[in-house]
Amino acid sequence: MNADRLLVRASLVPALLIVAWLAVSMPLLMADVLLPAPALALFAPVAALVLWLGLRSRPRPAADADADAAGATRHPGGDTAGRGPDPAPRWPAAAVLAITLAFLVLQVIMCSEQIIVRRDPASYAQFATWLAEHGSLPIPMDEQAFGGLDGALFHESPAFYQHDDTIVPQFMAGLPLVLTLGGWIGGTHGILLMAPLLGACGVLAFAGLVARLVGPRWAPAGALLLALTLPMLYVSRSTFSELPAIILLLGGLSLLHDSRREQGRAADLKAFLGGLALGLIVLVRIDGLRDILPVLVFAGFYVAHKRWIGYWTAGGLLLGAGAGLAEGFTLSLPYLAYLYSSLAPLLAITAAAIVATTVMVVLLRWEWTGSRLRRAGEAVARGRLPGAAAVLTVLVMLGFALRPLVQTVRRPPATRDDELNVEFIELIQRIQDLPVDGTRQYSELSLYWVSWYIGVPALLFATLGAALLVRRLLRGQSTEWALPYAMIVFTTTQVLLRPGITPDHPWASRRLIGLVIPGLLLFTVFAAAWTVRRVRRLGYSPRVMRAGAVTGVLLMLVPIVVTSAGHLVTRTEQHEVAAVDGMCDALEPDSAVVVIERSTGERFSQVVRGMCGLPTARTADAATPDDVRRIAGEVRQAGHRPVLMAAKAEQVAPYGPPSRVLRLDTHQDGRTLTGPPGGRWGLSLEVWITEPPGS
């Protein structure tokens, strides 16, 4: 196998395996039988089939290469993703694999242990822990252990809703399903180590897309640029949902790219798998519905031109997205209800996109309108609109750069969670000596966020690449870029306008790594390759051009490394697993835990329930000491040992002799609002318990 073919095929393997795993595990979870034996027994043949269908190749004859790609230009790197007359040497594939392996090793060494619930990674880890141990949802409340339902007790905690006398985890099930496999293999550490593995797979998948769209020789540059950005390093050390979403998105785009160059059933099946991978993003992140809307239009365009890959793409997309929505509205309904204010408009937009795509198909297939639309497209290609669109691209980026001068984004709190965010932002503002205004969202700085992480040179090249591509596409050229370009521009514009995330960094950078940063880096590499090709025409030797290309990439890496250097070798969120294991060992097997202090209840309720395997509840804020003693008596009457838990010894001392069962001294990532993140904050936690004496 040629080295370039090895690279493009290897880059598909992560997405294909995730598709196969979700196709097996999601139905088993819906049936409450997500257990190792049936899951692995089904996964093996399904994975083998999916890999065979996704990796086999029946390329079209060169003379019959994809009618819709007529007029497409050669890759600016001087090859055509492995099919040009000048095939790539072996070094790009070897370099990409070396970068991927080095990234994996580094991230495994630096992997965090976020299992105490403070933010999303620990919530996902606890969700996966429950699935790995029990294989079903929802989570029982075990209210009988506390003598039944009690007005002074409640069982929910952040990211774990109390719903219909059960506990329902927040978020979609896609990432926890993937993490569950790691839990079966290596327990809690297996769950946590899935993050570096998924991150490395994301780097490999990105290199594969670069090889297809720009050329194999540029794949190592793309892999290195992405791997060294702080957001990629950050999310790949903790269990973030962006990780499988990145792999599915990049792998899906690569599969759809390959399907256009295949023939017969191979093309159809790759289109189906590509659509399925993209649709399954919804099972990982509900806002993935927004990102995949351009795929629907893409499929409709092919349907309108009577191309079967359009039907297969649409089928896979609707199946994957439908699976995500089915899981969401059955197993994650409280989460979707919480998101109603933003989810309802998204569902309406999705419905409108389906209707609009249907209308487009009808108009293009009806000869009277279709012929006129085709003539209009030809007129656009010959006219000034392509050049105007390129200029508009630059102006839009300039507008985002000037946005802070004319806008300050604020959001008054509407819910209790919003009020907590206001308090949190005010805390960071005081630490950083900023004007205190907790309603600030800092969204007007969104393009500056991007510049922190990829650097100004890469951002300028990305703008150039986007401008060049829109001009080419409107001229009917480089059509293999149509879908990636549409998805990147569509999502990037929306994220930059409204990031929709608490604006502290590096936390907020997770919103950029889903598609914004990979997409802009893809444009960057394209523009760099285009520049090399243009300069080559001046008569420089190939050796000089190679040296210039390497120098340019290294110069773009400088600001990326400057931002990420501190995070690159800084470990945070360490020793949580050992601390929690020690706490669980200190609790008797017949205990029922009542958390009598709010912060401990929010952080440890699901930890005790899921990792210690004990019934857990926490007292309401208005509960009195008499309520606590009464509940302890009811626990004892129910046949359990009452254990009261809090953060300080003096909080449990009134009820019995205090005993410390957890002490954790570690570090967390620092928080910044108006500049690149850097440094660490200390993190100290204690848990004290007591067992009230029996009456």
DSSP at 163: E
Which residue reads 């009598």 in tokens? 596
Nearest to 602 by CA among 646, 634, 667: 646
* Mean pLDDT of the chain, nearest integer: 91
Together in a domain, 291 and 213? yes
Could you give the CA distance from residue 578 to residue 612 in angstroms, rounded to a whole number? Answer: 13
Domain termination site, one of 568, 599, 619: 568
Residue 235 domain-assigned (yes or no): yes
| Range 40-46 average pLDDT | 96
Alpha-carbon distance of 594 to 589, in angstroms, equals 15
Query: Scanning the structure block, which residue is given the tokens 């993050």?
Result: 195
**Spatial CA neighbour of 118 closest among 573, 686, 422, 584:** 573
Q: 362-376, 433-447, 536-550: lowest mean pLDDT where?
A: 536-550
For residues 14-34, give the mean pLDDT. Answer: 96
253 and 520 Cβ atoms separated by less than 8 Å: no
Confidence at residue 63, expressed as pLDDT on a 0 to 100 scale: 43
Amino acid at 437: D
Q: Which tokens is 199 given?
A: 């991150």
Same domain for 93 and 153?
no
Q: Which among 512, 547, 568 is the end of a domain?
A: 568
**640: amino acid identity, one letter:** H
The whole-angstrom separation of Cα 136 and Cα 26 is 11
pLDDT at 81: 39
Domain membership of residue 422 (yes or no) is: no
Q: How confident is the model at residue 1 (pLDDT cuts 50, 70, 90)?
A: low
Distance of CA 303 to the CA centre of its chain: 30
Shared domain for 358 and 497, answered yes or no, is: yes
Who's near 191: CB < 8 A, 6+ residues apart?
A: 125, 128, 129, 132, 179, 180, 182, 183, 239
Strands 659-669, 153-154: pairing is unpaired
Give the DSSP H/E element, type plus range, for residue 426.
Answer: helix 416-431
Query: Do the beta carbons of residue 316 and residue 273 sit within 8 Å?
Result: yes
Q: Flag whether pLDDT at 72 surpasses 50.
A: no
Q: Based on the structure, what is the number of domains in the chain? A: 2
Q: Is the peptide bond before 642 cis (omega within 30 degrees of 0)?
A: no
CA–CA separation, 206 and 114 (whole Å): 26
Q: Which residues pair with 646 in a beta bridge?
A: 688
Q: Is residue 182 part of a domain?
A: no
**388 lies in which domain range?**
3-110+190-406+442-568
Supply the pLDDT for residue 375: 87
Give the model confidence (pLDDT) of 195-229 as tens digits.
Answer: 999 999 999 999 999 999 999 999 999 999 999 99
Mean pLDDT within 263-279: 92
Q: Confidence class of residue 306 from pLDDT cuts 50, 70 and 90?
A: confident
Question: pLDDT tens for residues 404-428?
Answer: 999 999 988 877 778 888 989 999 9
Residue 325 lies in a domain: yes
Give residue 540's pLDDT band: very low, low, confident or very high (50, 70, 90).
Answer: confident
Provide the pLDDT confidence category of residue 277 given band limits of 50, 70 and 90.
very high
388: CB partners within 8 A, 6+ apart: none
Residue 74: pLDDT over 90: no
Task: Let me know if residue 126 belongs to a domain.
Answer: no
Cβ atoms 251, 8 nearer than 8 A? no
pLDDT band, very low/low/confident/very high, at 368 (cuts 50, 70, 90): confident
Q: Is 423 among the domain residues?
A: no
Question: Which pLDDT score is estimated for 2?
Answer: 66
pLDDT band of 88, cuts 50, 70, 90: low
Do 21 and 158 sit in the same domain of this protein?
Answer: no
- Given this model, what pLDDT does residue 3 score? 65
3-state secondary structure string, 21-63? HHHHHHHHHHCCCCCHHHHHHHHHHHHHHHHHHHHCCCECCHH
Helix axes 293-304, 482-497, angle to 10 degrees: 150
Residue 420 in any domain: the answer is no
Is it the case that residue 600 has pLDDT exceeding 80?
yes
The pLDDT tens digits of the residues spanning 466-507 come to 999 999 999 989 899 999 999 999 999 999 999 989 999 999
**How much is the pLDDT for 202?**
97
Q: CA separation (Å) from 408 to 420, 430, 487, 501?
A: 21, 19, 28, 16
Q: Is residue 132 part of a domain?
A: no
Q: Given 568, 589, 605, which residue is the final one in a domain?
A: 568
- Residue 614 is given by DSSP the state -
